[in-house]
Amino acid sequence: MGEVEVIHLWSTPRSLSTSLMYSFAQRDDMEVLDEPLYANFLRVTGYDRPYREELLSKMEPDGNKVIKEIIFAPGEKKFRFCKHIAKQKVPGLASDLMKKGRHFILIRNPLDILPSYDKVIPASFSELGFSELVSIYNELKELGRLPPIIDAAELQKNPEATLRGLCEELGIPFQHKMLKWEAGPKAIDGVWAPWWYKTVHRSTAFEAPRKYPLPFPFNLYDLLEQTIPLYNFLRRHVKQKSLLLMSPLPTPDLPVPANEKLLAWVGDEILPRDSAKVSVFDSVVQGGDSVWEGLRVYRGKIFKLDEHLDRLFDSSKALAFQNVPSREEVKDAIFRTLIRNGMFDNAHIRLSLTRGKKVTSGMSPQFNLYGCTLIVLAEWKPPVYDNSSGITLVTATTRRNSPNNLDSKIHHNNLLNNILAKIEGNNANAGDAIMLDKDGFVSETNATNIFLVKKGNVLTPHADYCLPGITRATVMDLVVKEKLILEERRISLSEFHTADEVWTTGTMGELTPVVKIDGRVIGDGQVGPVTRMLQNAYKKLTEESGVPIPTYTTK
């Protein structure tokens, strides 16, 4: 007899934990214990089971004795595998249980657990133990012993890859014999096996998942709503080793890593990034039926907030939205979101107002009976273009919408027209793409308004086929204040090719110099003096004006 290294499995019921126990029992260096804390759990909680009296008479009911004299007792093999159900970790157990040994967690989607759970006892939130499983994860994390997590679906889909990965995480060698076992009851089974193990007793290996799932018992729908978020929290921490759970692309790096953890407003509440979602019945999902604004935050103030809100409400009125939140409600949501995130400078807000959730899928606004959905997405985001050296543009073949089709004065979320042009720009490795109107005159880029300078005069296209941007209007005012001649008219593409200076305007990028269009160098290929002058004037304006964010104080 000698010291044994204990491996603890923590799971919810009906999660293939017994199959996993059988798998580890095949190893030549492993002994196993089937839920050694079960009797203590029944003693402490008083829960009833068909086998309660038999279990209490055959198993040690003192949990701390079990920990000291059974779980961590000397043994004849190098490892001891303990299968634990999360809810059996009740208060009063010795800290050694979590501080010693190697731990891992097995999870399973409640959609797969609930259809078969209540064959023996009724399903309930406490019976499933998802909250306890999350608590176990957090406790081990706080102890600096972050546990590997595997998903039952992954285990079924690719048992060998999953087990190899798990063994690697646990620091033990994989043994191929873990993939097979004999059918029938086992000596290691707990006394509850006749009630729960009938299916696993017929197995000889991890069985492939059903091609199609079992119907869900909708009397358990409320329980599903309670447990799915907890399962999803744990699932995000699965070390994805098989194709089942792996995205076809690697997890991308964020442009600003600090945005990995942010809070967004959706509907009437603030939520963490991964929980900030709209309903599949929302109009923005059903048909891009939404309006939006981009806002920028400078030194504790939101620049041109009221102008953007004016356009938001004009756009929603043009689209005949009903039950629109008030201006003060929208402002309050913006302020609360920024304050919660601590975003008071160098931040950008994507403000969206959708027609709202529908009672059934379909195009008609008559289905929108819940009111509008407000979304406030604030991110740490510097200007998105190179405003020092400038960008290049190409001309897209995709034409800008005519007011005959969809008026660009409505700042709507149906952006496919722009996206198609942006694809052309991406394919040409350009910063953006110029879009022409139906007659071949320049309208705007796929994301910004556009200006040119020729012989000291500033020109910009009419806002007939393009969005009358707020940054555009601000720059037009600055042009006049700087005593330059401003002309708003139809402008042909060749005029941009031969311009002395060109820049684009938008909340996301501010004033962005353009140094090349369709292979033609603009001016001398450098940022021009008028562009620099207006950039400086715009910067000064953002420093001096804006709507203050409540609670913000300069340090």
124 close to 71: Cβ distance less than 8 angstroms: no
Residue 239 pLDDT: 75
Dist CA 317 CA 399 (whole Å): 26
Partner residues linked to 547 by β-bridges: 302
Dist CA 96 CA 68 (whole Å): 9
Look at strands 391-395 and 457-460 and give their pairing.
unpaired
| Contacts of 108 by beta carbon, 8 Å cutoff, 6+ apart | 11, 12, 14, 15, 16, 151, 152, 153, 231
Q: DSSP code of 400?
A: P
Q: What share of the chain is helix, strand, coil (3-state, %, to 5)?
A: 35, 20, 45
477 close to 533: Cβ distance less than 8 angstroms: no
Q: Could you tell me the CA-to-CA distances from 367 to 211, 355, 360, 361 in Å, in that order?
A: 35, 10, 6, 8
Q: Which of 433, 432, 492, 491 is nearest to 461 (CA)?
A: 491
Give the H/E segment covering residue 548: strand 547-548
Dist CA 167 CA 175 (whole Å): 9
Q: Could you tell me the CA-to-CA distances from 525 to 219, 453, 456, 502 in Å, in that order?
A: 69, 14, 17, 10
331 close to 309: Cβ distance less than 8 angstroms: yes
Residue 513 pLDDT: 98
Task: Give the Cβ contact number of residue 132 at 10 Å.
Answer: 19
- Sign of dihedral through CA atoms 23, 25, 26, 28? positive
Q: Which of 507, 506, 503 is nearest to 517 (CA)?
A: 503
Rounded to the nearest 5°, which phi and psi values hold at 475? Answer: -65, -35
Task: Give the Cβ contact number of residue 343 at 10 Å.
Answer: 21
Give the H/E segment covering residue 535: helix 529-544
Q: Which residues of 201-215 are buried (b: 16+ CB within 10 A; e: fewer)?
A: bebeebeeeeeeeee
Residue 527 pLDDT: 97
3-state secondary structure of 530: helix
Dist CA 136 CA 140 (whole Å): 6
Q: Which domains does the chain have, with CATH numbers?
A: 5-236 (3.40.50.300), 257-380 (3.30.470.10), 391-543 (3.20.10.10)
Q: In three state form, how does the secondary structure of 7-34 look? A: EEEEECCCCCHHHHHHHHHCCCCEEEEE
Averages of pLDDT over runs of 10 residues in the chain (555 residues) are 93 95 97 97 94 95 97 96 97 96 97 81 91 97 97 95 96 97 96 94 93 89 95 88 54 93 96 94 96 97 98 97 97 97 96 98 95 98 95 97 91 95 97 96 97 97 94 98 96 98 96 98 97 97 96 76
Task: Give the Cβ contact number of residue 186 at 10 Å.
Answer: 18
Q: What is the pTM of this model?
A: 0.87
Residue 461 pLDDT: 97
Q: Which residues of 499-510 are buried (b: 16+ CB within 10 A; e: fewer)?
A: bbbbbbbbbbbb
Q: Which of 376, 375, 374, 378 is nearest to 348 (CA)?
A: 378
> What does the DSSP assignment read for 412-466?
BS--HHHHHHHHHHHHTT-SEEEEE-TTSBEEEESSSEEEEEETTEEEE--TTSS
Dist CA 396 CA 377 (whole Å): 30
Task: Give the Cβ contact number of residue 131 at 10 Å.
Answer: 15
**pLDDT tens-place string over residues 18-73:** 999 999 999 999 999 999 999 999 999 999 999 999 999 999 999 999 999 999 99
Task: Give the Cβ contact number of residue 318 at 10 Å.
Answer: 14
Residue 210 pLDDT: 85
7 close to 80: Cβ distance less than 8 angstroms: yes
